[in-house]
Structure 1
Amino acid sequence: WQTLQRRVLDAERTDDLTNLQFQLLSNGFRLLKTGGSLIYSTCSLTVAQNEAVVERFLSERSSAELVDIEASKAWPCKSGRILKTVRFDAVASKTSGLFVAKFTKLST
C-alpha cells in the first residue's frame, strides 16, 4: 500500500508528472512546422494527466488544434472525454491502458 500511495496517489508527485507532461507536450509542439502533427500519449488513465493537460495546452496555444485519429477506428479503443481523443481500456485492449490525442499546428 505504501508503494502505491507514494507512486500513484501522492498529490505532489502527480502534480509534478502533470507539469512535466505539459512541458514535454509544449516543447514538442514548439518544434513542429505549420501543418505538422504531434501525438500526445500516456499510459496513465487519470484525467489530470490526460484531459487536463490537453485542455490546458489548447487554452494556451491558439495554433494548436485536435484532429481525428483515423487509425483509431481499427483500434480496440473508445472516445476519450474530449472529442477527438481516445482511451484504451486495459482489459479490452490487453494493454496497461492508454490515452492518445493528436494535434496539428495551425498558422498564426
Structure 2
Amino acid sequence: MQLSLLTNGFRLLKVGGSLVYSTCSLTTAQNEDVVEQFLKENVSAELQGIEAARSWPCKGGRIPKTYRFDPSTYQTSGLFVAKFTKLAL
C-alpha cells in the first residue's frame, strides 16, 4: 500500500516538483524497501538531501539521503523521511 501511495503522489507531481515520503514506522519494509522499489520503477525520481536535517535529532537511513528518528535514541516519535524530485526525461 505504501508503494502505491508514493507512486500515485509522484505521478501527479510536476517536473521539478518535490515530494516528501514520510512514515511513522520504523520497519525497513515500509521505509527503505519502499524507497528502493519506487526508485527502480520510476527513473524520473531522484532522492534529494534535506539541508535542514543537519540540525534534526535523527540519523541517516540505510539509503543515503533518507532519515530515521529513533525514539529510543533521540526521544522523538519513530519517523522515516525521504524527499524526491521529479526529473524531466
Instruction: Specify the TM-score bucket, using the shorter chain as the normaliser.
Output: over 0.9
**Structure 1: 5+ residue runs without aligned partners?**
1-19
Percent of aligned pairs sharing the same letter:
70
* Structure 2 residue 57 is the aligned partner of structure 1 residue 103: no
1:67 and 2:67 correspond? no
Q: What residue ranges of structure 2 are gaps of 5+ in the alignment?
A: none
Question: Hey, what's the Cα distance between the residues in 2 that align with 1:92 and 1:45?
Answer: 13
Alpha-carbon RMSD: 0.9
Q: What is the one-letter code of the residue matched to 2:51?
A: E
Give the one of 41, 61, 64 matched to 1:80: 61
Larger helix proportion of the pair: 1
The code of the aligned residue for 1:83 comes to: P
Q: TM-score, normalised by structure 1?
A: 0.79
Q: Give the structure, 1 or 2, with the largest relative contact order (CA under 8 Å, sep 6 or more).
A: 2
Q: Does 1:32 align with 2:13?
A: yes
Q: 1:4 — aligned with what? A: none
More strand as a share of residues: 2
SS at match of 1:22: helix
Paired positions, count: 89
- 1:89 CA drift (Å): 1.0
- Aligned to 1:102, the other structure's residue is in SS state strand
